[in-house]
Structure 1
Amino acid sequence: MAATRFTVEDLRRILREGAGADESVDLDGDILDTDFEELGYESLALLETGGRIEREYGIRLDDSALTDARTPRALIELVNSQLAPAPVA
């Protein structure tokens, strides 16, 4: 069953698996509105993160939209806009 929601926990896991985490950054803290550069992730790391998200969630993210997503909140919203809505019961 395909995922229908991408969460901050999903993003934290993918960031750690793909690019690792800077020891000075607490990814478990309130990071939603923190710029990715402040978190230690430059554009290349974000493109790798985007690729991992695409493969895992079966979606396609536009490279320019991905690099325009400057915060975790913006990236989560971008991913969720590409996921299919849950079926109505």
Structure 2
Amino acid sequence: MPSHEFTLDDLRRILRDGAGADEAADLDGDIADTDFESLGYESLAMLETGGRIEREFDITLDDDALTDARTPRELIEAVNALLEPAEIG
């Protein structure tokens, strides 16, 4: 598993590269708590985003992770929960 944390900058890059950016969406602003729909990212774009995250970070997102995560902050938290190493004894 990758050792680094999944960040808002990682998500911005993946959103732009994979799903394309809605011309009206300002991904450079404070978007952590803005819902994806308001940013112009519908379900198909989020599926593509999830696939790119899984490939790049070598994780498997739960089926509900993308639908439950309504904001970038929630998706980042879900990804980072999978990146954290398991506690040993």
Q: Which residue identity lines up with residue 4 of structure 1 in the other structure? A: H
Match of 2:41 in 1: 41
Q: Which residue identity lines up with residue 38 of structure 2 in the other structure? A: E
CA RMSD of the aligned region, Å?
1.2
Summarize the alignment of residues 7-86 of structure 1 with structure 2, pairs less than 5 Å apart.
Answer: 7-85=7-85
Aligned-residue sequence identity (percent) comes to 75
SS in 2 for 1:32: coil
5+ residue gaps, structure 1, are: none
Q: CA deviation at 1:4?
A: 2.7
- Corresponding residue pairs, total: 85
Match of 1:5 in 2: 5
- Could you list the structure 1 runs, at least 4 aligned residues long, displaced by more than 4 angstroms after superposition: none
SS in 2 for 1:62: coil
Q: Which residue identity lines up with residue 56 of structure 2 in the other structure? A: E
5+ residue gaps, structure 2, are: none
SS in 2 for 1:63: coil
Deviation per residue, 1:48-79 (Å, 9 max, x gap) = 10000000000000121221100000000000
Distance 1:3 1:34 in 2: 27
Distance 1:9 1:51 in 2: 17
Please state which structure has a larger fraction of its residues in helix: 2
